[in-house]
A and B are shown apart, each in its own frame.
Chain A
Amino acid sequence: MALLPEQFSQLESLAETWALPTELQRSERRWAAGPDDYRRFYEAMLPALDQVLDYLDRYEPGNIPEPALPLYRLALAFAEAAPHNELYDCSNTVPNSFDARRFVAAHGEITDR
């Protein structure tokens, strides 16, 4: 069964690997991504971003129904990954930075799905 609503079928293969439920899982995905991963993600998502956000805005934060969660998580992953395209030349690390794996997202999971 498809993860995303039909009108976003072009993003389906991205959702399979990027639409992860926790910030840590999405971070691990970012750290594992190569330049081509970042390029594919960005080139597919940027033109669809407004439509994705418009679609998600039919729901309230904290009350997104199960079937729409993969799209929401894909959008979160994109919000977190885009700086790698826009600022870090598609590197999977922030240049000249501390080891991101030692940085703990101590807020845990924000539960407002």
Chain B
Amino acid sequence: MAAPAEQLKQAMPYTTRYPELGTGPLDVRPLIDPELFELERERIFKQAWLYVARAEELAEPGDYKLRRLDVANTSVIIVRDRNGEVHAFHNICTHRGNKLIPEQEAQSLGHTATHTLTCRFHAWTFNTDGTLRGVARQESFAGLDKSCLGLNRIHCAEWEGFIFINLAEQPRQSLVEYLDGVADHYAGYPYNEATLRFRYSTVLNCNWKVSLYAFSEGYHVPTIHQGTFPSLATLEHTEFRCFGPHSTSGLYVPPVPGLEPTPVTANLGGRLRASNRHRPHLELLPENINPDNRQDFQFEFSVFFPNSVIHLCAGNGYPGMAIFHHQFWPIAVDKTLWEGTNYFRPPETVSERIAIAHTNALHRNAWLEDTSTMEQTYQALSSGVLDEMVLMDEELMIRNTHKHWHDYMGI
């Protein structure tokens, strides 16, 4: 039975601002249906812009990143050419289809000093702008036109140092159009300064959206994180905004009465808070983030459709943390590569480096708490017992993702 409008508005002040999202339960089938997963490959992951690299990972000409994309049965080379331009190519030699760069991990970094990439099979050599440079025993190919045999190009664009690709032959929108209002919302922070990265990954036996949705709300924090972050028990999750398929929100944590930081965290976290480089830098936040300049700002928290969740902390909240993000890479309907990355400004002193290790370890431990539910949730959902899931107001970002998932899928 539908609640009266006034009651709805009171219970769900954020959700009711977006009438197109509705207030009812969401269908569970998209999280468990193998046939829908096959459609997702084409309708979502070959249509949407996908975040694949930070510009600092490709700092110098000749730097490249290899990124496996199981969902599209491909792997992608993102490379900075000798003129500094970034390109993306399918990792496939145009001769007989060998992987141009042998692939061992889901993602890896490399460098070519000669600005060329050579296939290990027959030594075909490509320039980092994708053109075919050299073919061994070219005279034995009849009428080979090298200009038609460059690497297969993928659309690639950069925003605030975040490098995205789009697997469509012709993307429906430019990257900036695609990012909608979230592009401006996040613009201007010096992301490029946070070059110390800690990335964790695991393959979760669950649908990618089970994992994405779990990381898209703060409602779970007081229960799931009472072990590692009892200090987050008072969190306020607020300032929700939807920008097309993307959504954002602010997370604040007033002090928990009577809870003092533990001795090691007080010491090491305190060192980062006292350092000009690592301290909270509220003044660096883009203007619509933490608009009231609250000192208890923890992070801005956004879903970048389809598979990235990006948090901007600017040294607030977790000591020294500049940004962190999650990515959810589908492998099968019931298998997802999760990657979580913490970013810090590089330490100036050894003690800062050790303090960063402490913040990083606590946050990694919190992720172990987060990931503990996901396989269990998926197993339970795949029983088919629940057809629908009900959401509270602050689970709004899930609701927005789910709605746009339906729009992309056309179902």
CB within 8 Å of B: which residues of A? 46, 49-50, 53-54, 56-57, 59-61, 64, 72, 75-76, 78-80, 82-83, 85-88, 94-98, 100, 102-107, 110, 112
Q: A59-B350, A95-B227 are in contact. Are A107 and B197 (CB under 8 A)?
A: yes
Asked whether any CB of chain A lies closer than 8 Å to the CB of B262, the reply is yes
A-binding segment of B179-187, B285-293, B356-364: B356-364
> Do A98 and B371 touch (CB < 8 A)?
yes
Which one of B263, B347, B348, B349 contacts A86 once the chains associate, using CB atoms below 8 Å?
A: B263
> Do B265 and A110 touch (CB < 8 A)?
no
Most buried by B among A80, A86, A88, A106: A106
> Do A83 and B353 touch (CB < 8 A)?
no
Q: A56-B351, A64-B350, A76-B354 are in contact. Are A86 and B361 (CB under 8 A)?
A: no
Q: A94-B369, A106-B339 are in contact. Are A56 and B202 (CB under 8 A)?
A: no
Most buried by A among B106, B196, B354, B368: B354
Q: A86-B262, A105-B200, A106-B200 are in contact. Are A80 and B358 (CB under 8 A)?
A: yes
Contacts of A98 in B (CB 8 A): 202, 367-372
Q: Nearest A residue to B359 by beta-carbon distance?
A: A79
Q: Nearest B residue to A88 by beta-carbon distance?
A: B227
Tally inter-chain residue pairs, CB-CB below 8 A: 119
Given contacts A79-B358, A97-B371, 15 further A-B contacts (CB under 8 A): A46-B263, A46-B264, A49-B267, A57-B349, A61-B350, A64-B350, A79-B355, A79-B361, A83-B228, A85-B264, A86-B265, A97-B369, A103-B368, A106-B200, A112-B347
> Do B264 and A86 touch (CB < 8 A)?
yes
> Do A53 and B227 touch (CB < 8 A)?
no
Q: Nearest B residue to A56 by beta-carbon distance?
A: B350
> Do B264 and A61 touch (CB < 8 A)?
no
> Do A104 and B201 touch (CB < 8 A)?
yes
Most buried by B among A53, A85, A112: A53
Q: What 10 A-B pairs have minimum CB-CB distances, sorted nearest first?
A: A86-B262, A97-B368, A82-B264, A79-B358, A53-B351, A98-B371, A56-B350, A80-B361, A79-B357, A106-B201
Query: B119 to chain A: closest CB distance in Å?
Result: 26
Query: B11 to chain A: closest CB distance in Å?
Result: 29
> Do A57 and B227 touch (CB < 8 A)?
no
> Do A72 and B350 touch (CB < 8 A)?
yes
Q: Nearest B residue to A78 by beta-carbon distance?
A: B264
Q: A57-B350, A60-B350, A80-B357 are in contact. Are A104 and B369 (CB under 8 A)?
A: no
Mark B227-266 against chain A: 1 for CB-CB distance below 8 A, else 0: 1101000000000000000000000000000000011110
CB within 8 Å of A: which residues of B? 105-107, 196-203, 224, 227-228, 230, 262-265, 267-268, 271, 339, 341, 346-355, 357-358, 361-362, 364-365, 367-372
Query: B54 to chain A: closest CB distance in Å?
Result: 13
Query: B308 to chain A: closest CB distance in Å?
Result: 16
Contacts of A59 in B (CB 8 A): 350
User: Please, how many angstroms separate the alpha-carbon atoms of A110 and B202 in the complex?
Assistant: 19
Contacts of A60 in B (CB 8 A): 349-350
Contacts of B353 in A (CB 8 A): 61, 112
Contacts of A88 in B (CB 8 A): 227
Query: A16 to chain B: closest CB distance in Å?
Result: 20
Q: Nearest B residue to A30 by beta-carbon distance?
A: B361
User: Please, how many angstroms separate the alpha-carbon atoms of A112 and B37 in the complex?
Assistant: 42
Q: Nearest B residue to A96 by beta-carbon distance?
A: B372
Q: Nearest B residue to A86 by beta-carbon distance?
A: B262
User: Please, how many angstroms separate the alpha-carbon atoms of A4 and B356 in the complex?
Assistant: 22
Most buried by B among A56, A60, A83, A104: A83
Which one of B198, B228, B264, B351 contacts A94 once the chains associate, using CB atoms below 8 Å?
A: B228
> Do B268 and A79 touch (CB < 8 A)?
yes
Q: Nearest A residue to B347 by beta-carbon distance?
A: A61
User: Please, how many angstroms separate the alpha-carbon atoms of A57 and B347 in the complex?
Assistant: 11
Which one of B341, B357, B372 contacts A97 once the chains associate, using CB atoms below 8 Å?
A: B372
Contacts of A100 in B (CB 8 A): 368
Query: B379 to chain A: closest CB distance in Å?
Result: 14
Q: A53-B351, A57-B351, A86-B265 are in contact. Are A103 and B202 (CB under 8 A)?
A: yes
> Do B198 and A79 touch (CB < 8 A)?
no
User: Please, how many angstroms separate the alpha-carbon atoms of A95 and B349 in the complex?
Assistant: 33
Contacts of B368 in A (CB 8 A): 94, 97-98, 100, 103
Query: A26 to chain B: closest CB distance in Å?
Result: 9
Q: Nearest A residue to B196 by beta-carbon distance?
A: A110
Q: Nearest A residue to B358 by beta-carbon distance?
A: A79
> Do B369 and A96 touch (CB < 8 A)?
yes
Q: A103-B202, A104-B202, A110-B196 are in contact. Are A61 and B372 (CB under 8 A)?
A: no
